[in-house]
Every structure is written in structure tokens, then in C-alpha cells.
A and B are shown apart, each in its own frame.
Chain A
């Protein structure tokens, strides 16, 4: 799996948009970008994933650059409950393909 680079920590004010960057400059053509988050002492939660087009769901938006070497996860209106470690992972889309977790970004949403 390609490696990803994320800032170790970020802060965001409650109600504002949180933009979490991820660099994956060695991503292969058949690798997807997945985002998960882990709230303290819980299992990771799936957020969103994409290949090359921008994606949006009820939780977040994923913006992938045209060269696919980086992406940004956007939480449009952050709440205190969004405080968590956010992981950006790239991998091929196969049922037996494992997820390799890096260190992620610790997002703290402040009141």
C-alpha cells in the first residue's frame, strides 16, 4: 500500500469547517483513498472513500486533486463530537485487502 502523510494535529472552532489534508504522492492508479476516524477508546469509524472524483456523503466531503497525489477531507460544520484521530489510507479495493493505519491527524474541535 502507498504511504500517506498527515499533519499530527489540527484545531478547529466549533461550527467552522475542518479541512484535513493528506499527501499520497506514490498512490497507484487502482488505489482508493479511504478516510476513517477513531474517537477515544472506540473502534474506527468509516467516513468516506473515493478514487478520483470528489465525493460527498452525510458526514463529509472528499476532495482529491487531479493528479491524485493529495486529498482533503472536509467536515463542513465541525462539532465537539468530531474530536478524534482521522486516518487517511490508500489501498486497492479488494475484499481481502487490509487497511494499514498510519499515525493520523488528531483533530480537536474547540468550543
Chain B
């Protein structure tokens, strides 16, 4: 299957700092990427849908000014957690939609574990 690279895999930061997470589709172009958050022993929760060249669509309850999403190219989307606080500590996962031959499959990155001290 297609490959989605997510970086960094783990980050530890101080409260109040900003953290940027990158999501790249390595062997296909993705007009749409998605950002999820997962708390321990819980399922994935969609945060936002990232569309290349336009503003992201955020799910209800997700602060767009806190979780900045940029999808500047067909292979790269970034999520910036601004002024991170301990409650933002979580596992963040991105996915990219590959459209090929009538098939539509989302492939996921390996995730970024964020710990805010």
C-alpha cells in the first residue's frame, strides 16, 4: 500500500511552547489529509480535514486557533499545536486519502506522541 510518513514520532515540550507535526504522502498525491487524536485506551477521534490549497475543516469542539493546519502541497500537511499545555498530551495521527482506479483508501502515518510538561 501507499506510504504516509509522519514526523516527529515523539516530542516532549514545555508548557506554552508550540509543536509542529508533519505528514507526508511519499508515493502519491493527496488532496485531502486528516488529523486524528487518540487518548490512552480510546479510539481515534477526528480533529480536522485538511484540503490542499484551502482552509481545514474542523470537527466540533476542536479549536482551530490552537490546532493550526496547513496543507500547502499535495504531499504535505502540517499540524501545529500552539501554546501547548499538559492536557494536549496525546497521540496524534495523520492520514492521507489515495484515489486510484476508482479506489479510495486512507493510509495512516505512524503517529506522533506528544508529551507536554
Contact = CB atoms under 8 A, between A and B. Distances in A.
A44 B97 contact: no
Name B's interface SS.
strand
Name A's interface SS.
loop
Contacts, number: 56
B51 interface: yes
A111 interface: no
A101 B107 contact: no
B51 A46 contact: no
Interface residues on A, range: 20 to 34
Interface of A: 36, 38, 41-46, 49, 87, 93-104
Interface of B: 1, 4, 6, 31-32, 34, 36, 43-46, 49, 51, 91, 93, 95, 97, 99, 103-111, 113
